[in-house]
Amino acid sequence: MRRGIGNLGILCGLIAMAGSVTIGAGGFGAPKNGGGGGHKDTIGHFTFRDINGNTYTQQQVTAHKATVFVFLSCQCPVSNLYTPRLVSLAAAYSTRGVPFFAVYSDRQESLPDVIAHARQHGLKFPVVHDDRNVIADHLGAKVTPEAIIVDDTGTVRYRGRIDDNAVTTRVTAHDLQEALDAVLTDQPVVHPDVPAFGCVIRRVAVPVAVLPPGVPTYAHDVAPILRARCEGCHRPGEVAPFSLQTYQQASAWANDIKRYTQNRQMPPWKPAPGYDAFTDEASRYLTEKQIATLAKWADAGAPLGDPHQVPPPRKFTQGWQLGEPDVILTPTQDYHLAADGDDVYRNFILPANFTTDRYLSAVEVRPGNHAVVHHVLIYIDGLHAADKLEGKDHDGEPGWTSFGGPGFVPTGLLGGWAPGNDPHFLPPGVGNLLPKGANLVLQVHYHKDGKPETDRTRVGLHFARGPIDKRLSGTMVLNFWFKIPQGDPHYKVEAVTPVRDDVHVLAVTPHMHWLGREMKLWATLPDGTAKPLVWIKDWDFNWQASYFLQHPLALPKGSKVHLLAYYDNSANNPRNPNRKNLRQVTWGEQTTDEMCVAFVSFTRDHEHLAHKSVPGVKKSIASGQ
């Protein structure tokens, strides 16, 4: 019965019948050893077709000791991460007579979407387009990815997650594999119903007959929030895996919008409200009232409201957001990223080849592949210390890998990029010095998406125009000497740095690794007055950023900048890379090490450079040229 996707060229003629399903009395069941949802234990009579037009019946399913239905989505990033291991599992168990079916039940995903996704992700087992959610409803599937095992009696023996971690190297429980082995050896499934995690299956919408008073609508209440806070990333060609520009798109994701905004995973804005204010805050922070509005809208069935009230989509600048740069730096060749596994932190040398000092007013990063570029940092290498690191991995790819830092001691930090962070011009008269002969090192954090990808990220430099009065300077508040005991869930680290001149602080950049849970930065004036800088109460290494103050903070000489951080080195920290073998953790650049540092960008009040920056010829430079 096992069939591959086959010749996709014949599919145009099969669209009318592909994915059709007929379910008989009894429906699909809950796991025999447990589970809920009100479903019966057996699957009942049914037939369905895959995207190649092949028909399957209950008799064909129960002719096998075990059959696996895996629910997938074209748009869910968690689902995409699982496709390589599902391909491997299906191939391994095919030798034991176990067929796999990939079922796409998302209402937003058309047959062409499903066909393209299955091809791109190399699915070799039958694919079903469940466009009316019939199979999902009767099997009780709720999220993607989710696996369901049916045995040779038509009984549902397992429903739930594939394993316990979307990143292959962090998996500790192989739930689907263990359940399959139990069914094939006539043993009971120890855990027959393990909640799956991922994206909620967006089922066919049920129209809201009567809208109760006070219920938010998309047109009047939700669309303005999504336009202002989400559309910058959730639109075609940007980093988000799906768009939120229309009612059809937003309503399909309503339950996920509720869930991710309530736990503040989205939008990715980490600073605590009210503890200083930042330039990007207005476009990324959701108030409690806005979060409640999104939740009420989802709970009410995501009603549209009056379509005439829907605000028009935002207009975005195409290409370089600050205009064409004076110089564009790019690696000489693409970087190739594997389909799955740990995230990759790859560094690329970008020779600037400037024969004189140059002051920059802005730096803009253009990711080459938004699907996998998570964030970017740009270091200044004035001593060419990185030259010896090129090619050290011997993997045939440009650059080298590192974690936390770039693998050498940089002479400066030029800037960076993260989703939702708009590029900025520095204030008039302020410039960021790029010394003559210095190289740049581009560190790109890649997040894998379940299929092989390539990237060549570019950096645009804007030269400062007009006289430069002040140089953008930087310092660090850090603690090298901490020793986090194994098992300690709330270890405190402190640091302080004196202010030796009258300065104005423009930006702050906190930095920790996986054990970090909280970091607070503030300054005290010579008279003891405290001035807030930034407070990250729920640190996430994946969402670190530089935070530019709405109003530069004046700090007189004799002030102090304080840092307070907390770390969780316990086995209960799911991000702890040492949780299987707890150990004391100290400063270091490896994944298993930690850091405690905050970068502070400032200008000196007494500095008056009267430096005339000369605009250069616009050009593009490739690394190594």
Is beta strand 358-366 parallel, antiparallel or unpaired with respect to 412-417? unpaired
Query: Which residue intervals of the chain bear CATH 3.40.30.10?
Result: 8-200
φ/ψ (deg, to 5) at 182: -65, -45
Return the structure tokens found at 452: 């092989």
Sign of CA dihedral 56, 57, 59, 65: positive
Between β-strands 430-434 and 470-471, what pairing exists: parallel, antiparallel or unpaired? Answer: parallel
pLDDT at residue 616 above 80? no
Going by pLDDT thresholds of 50, 70 and 90, the confidence category of residue 41 is low
Structural contact between residues 271 and 278, judged by C-beta atoms closer than 8 angstroms: yes
Sequence-distant (6+) residues with CB within 8 A of 301 are 205, 206, 208
What is the structure's pLDDT at 207? 65
CATH number at 317-469+610-625: 2.60.120.230
The amino acid that residue 608 corresponds to is H
Banded pLDDT at 418 (limits 50, 70, 90): confident
CATH 3.40.30.10 fits 8-200, yes or no: yes
Predicted TM-score of the model (pTM):
0.73
Domain 470-607, CATH class in plain words: mainly beta
Those residues with Cβ within 8 angstroms of residue 151's Cβ, 6 or more apart along the chain or in another chain: 32, 62, 65, 66, 67, 157, 183
pLDDT in tens, 462-473: 999 888 999 999
Please state the φ and ψ torsions of residue 81, each to the nearest 5 degrees: -65, -25
Portions of the chain given CATH number 2.60.120.230: 317-469+610-625, 470-607
Distances (CA, A) of 348 to 196, 332, 334, 453: 38, 9, 11, 17
User: What is the CB neighbour count within 10 angstroms for residue 88?
Assistant: 12
**What is the spatial distance between Cα 559 and Cα 429, in angstroms, rounded to a whole number?**
25
> Residue 496: what pLDDT?
97
- How confident is residue 71, by pLDDT bands cut at 50, 70 and 90? very high
pLDDT tens digits for 155-186?
A: 999 999 999 999 888 898 999 999 999 999 99
Pairing of β 358-366 and β 430-434:
antiparallel
